[in-house]
Amino acid sequence: MNRAAIADSTTTSVVDPHERAEYWADLISTYHCRLGYRFPSSADFQGHTQLRRTDAYQLVGWKSDAVTYLRNPSHIRADPDDDYRLIVPFTGRLSFRTEDGYGILAPGTMALVSVDRPYAMSMSDGTRGMIITIPRKEIKHRLNRVVPPDHPLDLTAGLGRVTDGILGGLHSESAALTDLQFDSVSERLVDLLCMQILGEPASSPTQLAHVEATARRYIHDHAGDPDLNGTRVAVALGWSLRQIQLAFSNAGTTPSDVIREERLRLARDRLRSPAYQHRSITDIASDLGFGSVSSFSKAFRRRFGATPGQLREDRRAASDD
């Protein structure tokens, strides 16, 4: 963000009642990025902010009357911002509408959102909470290829409850922390946030589908590696083996089954290819990681209804005709 460190507290009470809605809009845009605003009542709008900012992170605590924040394509083009926002309500309910749907964010939950996509966020009178700006690189570094979920994350149990305690402490003590302390606590918070995201794939069908599709592509492209297994796939893609296993389990299969299927298809292609006509069936099986030609032949026959030898003979007979 490259902003000077600062701790500040601001209220709309510093300006005349008829100027307060506009003052609030300018203030929030200064903290974040270009936004649109809808005020159910712009007369004497009441709002208060608590700002803590370093070069790396920013925390904005707020309490305000009802307002809707809008981020549309023209705002994004005019003022791009690829940092994430972690939104944590303390009181009230926030409603979100994005291109993908609609949702509610309530106390006891948090949501990691991207402001480089259009959205609308509405809140009722007296809503209170905080928004932490997190550099995208800090999320990407920890999650690698995992996409942050669109749904809210739970703060009432397990790791979420631990995270909630740190969030509350960071909010209440932010002004008393040095820049180094504030950044250190923020980094631990991001660690816990990403750990929670990585630990909850079973409850996120969209995330599981993404992991499965990416892993299948990797297996397809590397099926010729005789040492390929689920662990190697997980390491290569930056996920845990458990995530890979859960993703394939959700699809009714396993990493081993998918790897074997891709290897059998590759073996069939090689048995049909003139480029491999001088390679023995034993060599082809060994090159693809099968422990023995016997186990390879049995698996091949179950899959294709013919032995490797029969397939090769059929190809030779067809080429002689």
**Tens of pLDDT along 192-203?**
998 888 875 444
pLDDT recorded at residue 212: 85
Query: Could you give the CA distance from residue 25 to residue 261 in angstroms, rounded to a whole number?
Result: 57
3-state secondary structure of 57: coil
Task: Check residue 146 and report its DSSP letter.
Answer: P
Residues of the chain with pLDDT under 50: 1-2, 201-203
What are the beta bridge partners of residue 10? 49
Report which of 168, 159, 172, 153 is spatially closest to residue 52, judged by C-alpha positions. Answer: 172
pLDDT recorded at residue 59: 97
pLDDT digits (tens, 9 = 90+) for 263-309: 999 999 999 888 998 999 999 999 999 989 999 999 999 999 999 99
pLDDT recorded at residue 202: 43
> Which tokens hold the place of 30?
């200064």
> Which tokens hold the place of 227?
């040492």
Question: 300 with 309: CB under 8 angstroms?
Answer: no
> Which tokens hold the place of 51?
């700002």
Amino acid at 221: D
Question: 60 with 51: CB under 8 angstroms?
Answer: yes
pLDDT recorded at residue 251: 83
Query: Could you give the CA distance from residue 114 to residue 129 in angstroms, rounded to a whole number?
Result: 18
